[in-house]
Amino acid sequence: MASFLISYDLNGPNPSHKQMDDLIPKIAATYGRVLETVWWVEYSGTAMQLRDRLRTTLRKEDSLMVCECKVAAWHNLLINDAALKKAIEAA
């Protein structure tokens, strides 16, 4: 499993943030919200495969970025620091 950061902007009425909040746990083995529309996930595929899976819910006017995460530094996130650090170090 690799660690990825997902960041998105929803620029229309659908999908809603709740729909995205419900989708991410269904496709990621382990996950956590890092910032309001930024998630950290563990995923068994590639960044492109994860992007394509998320795009099935997004509309053409929405924005999405998926980055594989190997090294990171942060401050004051919404996710438990220890859990995120352990997962990134294991990747």
- 57-66 pLDDT, tens per residue? 999 999 999 9
Specify the pLDDT at position 54: 96
State the CATH class of domain 2-90.
alpha beta
Whole-number Å distance between alpha carbons of 71 and 85: 9
Instruction: Name the residue ranges covered by the structural domains of the chain.
Output: 2-90
ω into 13 cis (within 30 of 0): no
In this structure, the chain runs to a length of 91
- 69-86 pLDDT, tens per residue? 887 777 887 777 777 777
- 26-67 pLDDT, tens per residue? 999 889 888 889 999 999 999 999 999 999 999 999 999 999
